[in-house]
Structure 1
Amino acid sequence: MATINKRPSGKWQATVRRAGRSTSKTFTKRADAVMWARDAEMRAERGELCKPKTTTATLSDALHQLADKKPSERWRLHALARTKLATLRIDVLTAAEVAAWRDRRVQEAKPSTVVRELSLMQTAIDHQLDDSDANPVRHVRRPRISDRRERRLTGDEWQRLLDAAVQCKNALMLPLIVLARETACRRGELLSMQWCDVDLQQRVVLLSMTKNGHARFVPLSPMAVQVLTTLPRADDRVLPITENAVRLAWQRLRARAGVEDIRLHDLRAQAATDKLLEGWSVAEVQVLTGHRDAGVLLERYARLRASDIVAKLHAVE
């Protein structure tokens, strides 16, 4: 018998059980889950319902394998693979052990960091199992995230950042921060961007490696096209620089600009806010940022203020 359930993530999980066996799969769209469930039920009628795949791999093994598929998260995955929890085999790992790790970890890291790490663990284990319900991380409650930021750049601060980037020893920092604000791309997406995926004639770039695992086309503004046109093509990557080099250079850059409370990720939120203030619809901004959930976009990235609305209300006076 098939059941279709909506997960806390907003995705749809289809599960088919028959004669003590079960198989399940998660989909973004409910229609896809229903279609898969019907096919699985037919296979079950024919006695072809497979037993869930088991594994003797450790969590560390799974994390290292996922690192090969997610270059932008490689350093974080390798760090997780070195934890004591990661030494346990997946087939004996329990939700209680993961929850205990979560409680310890939340004492030393922000809730958003812990949520991100749990999501990576869940993905790594999912790749090892057929039955996602058997993944213990799925049954562990995530810490509540309450670190919403309202920080926005002023025109003067942006100019100071640009001036500081010009003085930076790494010549790629200036195009990186400009592209970050123009495209709303994440740092990892910018650093994994390949020249073969850049189409300056159509003014789009294909991002095949994204945080949510879904490839997307990003529209390029005139400024983004100008920046890309001036960059050398001596490497397959548009911005051949390591994440660690960016992190260190950004710390020096923002200190030189006198805006040490600005994070590089704030430029992504700034881009979303800029477009909303310019009159873009939420759906249009979603195409730019790649958010599949408009609620997340509005809650965490649309940093609008009451003064912005007042300005619009009195614009006709």
Structure 2
Amino acid sequence: MKEKRVLATFILAVAFLGLIFLLAHRAAASSARCLPDALGVSRTLELSAQGGWQVGLKTYPRTLALDDHEIVLTFDDGPTHTTAKVLDALAKECVKATFFLVGRNAAAMPSLVRRQIAEGHTVGHHTFSHPGATLRRLGEKAAQNEIEKGFSADDKAAYGAAGAAPRTPFFRFPGFADTPALVEWLSARNIAVFGADVWASDWQPMTPEAQLALVLARLEKEGRGILLFHDSKEQTAAMLPALLRELKQRGFKIVHVKPGAEPPAMQAAPQGWTSETDKIIADVFAKETHAGRKAHGVAPAPQAQPAPAK
């Protein structure tokens, strides 16, 4: 019986190594098919998350110190049925990105997670279920459990097993709805929190052409930054090849971030900075409270001012 268990374990190990080899071979083949004038990666930041840190001017008063026309590409909410199209577009241009995974999606599509890793992308975390109420409206313990469950599901999908800490210590809050207590808890675990500097707003329905124009206009205005997309959106997958070509033509450069030992260089927010996400979240919560009071026949409270368009 013992010999059978050992043999079964050996067979599973060989099968797993074979899958990794296949994905690595696919990644090499994709690199070989890159366009001669591919956008590529300008530089890689191998960042330590020791002590925890938070970046992204939409939420925090600091971001990564990027040079003019440097972009960090990030994608949330995958993997889904459109993720493969996004990976194909990135591979064709030899571009690397950071994917913040929803744990239950990773558990459902582990082959896509392993493809992301095999093709050199960074795999971060975005909770297990992306709760609609956001972590800000869960109790602290429930929110921690939601995050931990996401770490575990992502690492099991990516590597076959999960440890006490996530392999990649990068996290993004759903809806950017953090709390001081959760940020402190993540920092104590040496986990970095990513916000964003530029939104693609691809949660709003639009044509790929309209999204391309919107993203390019925002990038030209900001000049640099951490750019947020969702690989779960068809319009994003359809738009991405054209965007990558436009970035090349306009002189933008891709910076890839991954875990390492390098303390991150930070750039402080400009004077007068305020959190745009906090304004938006406060407005959403106020509208929900107003609707609830109205439904129960309670006199409505004064409405907050509308948040700026994203």
Comparing both structures, which one devotes a greater share of its residues to strand?
Answer: 2
Instruction: Please say whether Structure 1 and Structure 2 have the same fold, judged by a TM-score greater than 0.5.
Output: no
User: For the pair shown, which has the larger CA radius of gyration, 1 or 2?
Assistant: 1
Comparing both structures, which one devotes a greater share of its residues to helix?
Answer: 1
State the TM-score, normalized to the length of structure 2: 0.26
- Identify which of structures 1 and 2 has the higher relative contact order when contacts are C-alpha pairs closer than 8 Å and 6+ apart: 2
State the TM-score, normalized to the length of structure 1: 0.25
